[in-house]
Amino acid sequence: MEISLLADGTVKDKATITAAEDWKHIFTNLPKFDAEDGHVIHYEVKETAINGYTSLIGGECDKRLSVTMLKDTTPRIEPVPSRSFSEPLLDRLREHQALLLREHRAHRRP
């Protein structure tokens, strides 16, 4: 997995993280203030997208950030073809529904 360190929106460093490094990397020697105008630098980490995974980045930028990769497991839902019913079938369904309703009312307790 490749991650990029951005300082004020500009990529300043990159790292490839692997199991060999126990999936960890530390960016070091990061100045807190901009050398030109003295503003506090806003750091962020972004990972290079991996097909089939979603990344979650959390933590506090001035302490420790974690990147969690979640495998996309949302099942693909295939569209169901629409069905059309013929009028005679719909008429029979309505008759059956009416019959069930009459039977239900006849057996109801007052």
pLDDT digits (tens, 9 = 90+) for 46-95: 877 777 766 666 655 555 555 656 666 766 666 666 666 677 777 777 88
Residue 26 has pLDDT above 60, yes or no: yes
> What element of type H or E holds 93?
helix 87-106
Task: State how far the Cα of 46 lies from the Cα of 56, in Å rounded to an integer.
Answer: 10
Position 3 scores a pLDDT of: 83
Question: pTM for this structure?
Answer: 0.52
Position 75 scores a pLDDT of: 64
pLDDT digits (tens, 9 = 90+) for 4-13: 888 899 999 8
Position 71 scores a pLDDT of: 65
